[in-house]
Amino acid sequence: MATKAALAPPNNATPDATISRRGFFMKLGIVFNAFAASIVAVPIVGFLFSSITRGRADGYLSWVPLGKISEFPEGETRLATFQNPYVMPTDGKTADTACWVRRIAGEQFQVFAVNCAHLGCPVRWFPQSGLFMCPCHGGAYYRDGARASGPPERGLFEYPYKVQNGVITIQAGELPTPGAATALLSGQPPCAAQKQLVNIEGAEASVDSRG
């Protein structure tokens, strides 16, 4: 009873005026912990989100050689593989990436991601019918990557490429996804925007590779 009586007055009477020494230290302790927590939170949050904010102007993208252009016959579409430029020791085989290389003529190429623009399943090229087909939800694309049918809302993702000294090089390094596939921080798209839905009657130039 005596302790209760002793504790009661500060609560009932003006609370701000009388703050006990111990109460003050407890509050100071809480403030001190909040300070410590916010200091430690900076590296923790930084670590947690480090995969998003890579401190490079072009994000994860690099120019990757695919091989001599002589390996890609004109008018044909071939599967090429490359190792992702950003590799971790535990990646194993998953660092390898495949892409479809279409050599239109000379040094004119189209390099497509294997990932379907719908949900990223690997599309397969059928030279006989000139179509890329997706095994998952049935998306199909024409030889120039334009959407032919099925659920995809756009054509295949295309890597920017350049040909130097007879070697084709593409800018790659990030999984192409259908959302705003543009890299958030670099402002540079990992895959150049692809022409939307090319109509068969459309005047888009495409070299017929039959035969």
Give the residue, chosen from 10, 67, 75, 130, that forms a contact with another protein under the rule CB under 8 A: 130
Q: Which two tokens stand for residue 126?
A: 């059928």
Q: Note whether 90 binds another protein by CB under 8 A.
A: yes
| Nearest of 75, 69, 127 to residue 102 by alpha carbon | 75
Using CB under 8 A, pick the residue from 76, 121, 160, 163 that binds another protein: 121
Which residue in the block uniquely carries the two structure tokens 């039959």? Answer: 210
Please state whether beta strands 96-105 and 147-149 pair in parallel, antiparallel, or not at all (unpaired).
unpaired
N residues, the chain? 211
| Candidate residues 81, 108, 164, 196; the one interacting with another protein per rule CB under 8 A | 81
Does the protein bind another protein through residue 188 (CB under 8 A)? no
Distance, CA of 197 to CA of 185 (rounded, Å): 28
Buried-state track 14-44, b at ≥16 Cβ within 10 A, e below 16: eeeeeeeeeeeeeeeeeeeeeeeeeeeeeee
Taking the least distance from each CB to another protein, the nearer of 10 and 186 is: 186
Q: For residues 25-44, which are near another protein according to CB under 8 A? A: none
Number of Cβ within a 10 Å radius of residue 173: 20
Quote the tokens at residue 53. Answer: 């904010």
The binder of another protein chosen from 10, 58, 60, 78 (CB under 8 A): 60
Question: Which of 64, 66, 72, 84 is in the footprint of another protein by CB under 8 A?
Answer: 84
Q: Which residue in the set 2, 6, 39, 180 belongs to the binding site for another protein (CB under 8 A)?
A: 180
Q: How far apart are CA 94 and CA 108, in angstroms?
A: 29
Among residues 10, 67, 75, 120, which is the contact residue for another protein, using CB under 8 A?
Answer: 120
Q: Does the protein bind another protein through residue 47 (CB under 8 A)?
A: no
Nearest to another protein of 163, 177 (CB atom): 177
Task: Based on DSSP, count helices (H) and strands (E) in the chain, helices before strands.
Answer: 2, 11
- Positions in the binding site for another protein (CB under 8 A): 49, 51-52, 59-60, 79, 81, 84, 86-98, 114-115, 118-124, 126, 128-131, 133-138, 140, 142-143, 148-153, 173-175, 177-184, 200, 206, 208, 210
